Chain A
Amino acid sequence: MLDLMMQAALGMLALSGIIALARVVRGPTIPDRVVALDLLGVLAVCIAVLSAVRTGSRYFLDVAIVIALISFVGTIAYARYVEAVGQA
């Protein structure tokens, strides 16, 4: 029962990632793409936490912390880049 629920949740998270990637490809402006990449980072954290639940290994939580850190720094860097270039 629990394993079935976790597999369904993994499927939903994968579908969310595909939709966010569609926004990265389509997004009319660069900030749209940056927002979608930010959402992809949070989705990666969610998948890491769900993997920790499924396997019972706590190392996946460390992976989630690192992904959250790098995603934040990357988003800030992209936003600074967009602001410096000055094109939407």
Chain B
Amino acid sequence: MIEFIAGLLILSGASLALLAAVGLLRLPDVFTRMQASTKAPTLGLGCLLTALLLLDPTAEALIRAVTIEAFVMLTTPVAAHVIARAAARTGAPLWVGTLVDERPVEAGHIDPHPGVDSAAATRGPKPARPVE
């Protein structure tokens, strides 16, 4: 029975990884692809590690499994944030169906709503003049 549950967890973990890969292939721009490829594999890895712990319930396996999952859960969002910032600053193209983009217009990207001065709302206060 335990083995059957572990097998189901392994299959669902691998299915989540496959889902992430399909999303990476099919989604239209880099930000949506990132959305698919960072969240699903983290859960899939959690399923695989749970199956491992069901089949091998020892302290050594538990310590390593918790370390792996905690590390992946901590670092994947950080890596995704850094890649997204690099993509946004280098002007990666957005999907044509994008509705909201709150970045300032002068950053050199596609403005989804031309005519609306979204830059004025996000530009912030002017820097103070230097003291003479």
Contacts and interface: CB of A to CB of B under 8 A. Distances in A.
Interface residues of A, number: 54
Contact of A20 (B10, B21, B30): B21
What DSSP secondary structure best describes chain B's contact surface? Answer: helix
Interface string B1-29: 00110111011011101101110110000
Interface stretch (B39-47, B97-105, B124-132): B39-47
Interface string A11-45: 01101110110110000111110111011001101
A38 B37 contact: yes
Interface residues of B, number: 56
Nearest to B45: A46
B7 A1 contact: yes
Given A10-B14, A29-B90, A62-B64, 4 more contacts: A13-B17, A22-B25, A61-B64, A65-B64
Interface of A: 1-2, 5-6, 8-10, 12-13, 15-17, 19-20, 22-23, 28-32, 34-36, 38-39, 42-43, 45-46, 49-50, 52-53, 56, 58, 61-62, 64-65, 68-69, 72, 75-76, 78-80, 82-83, 85-88
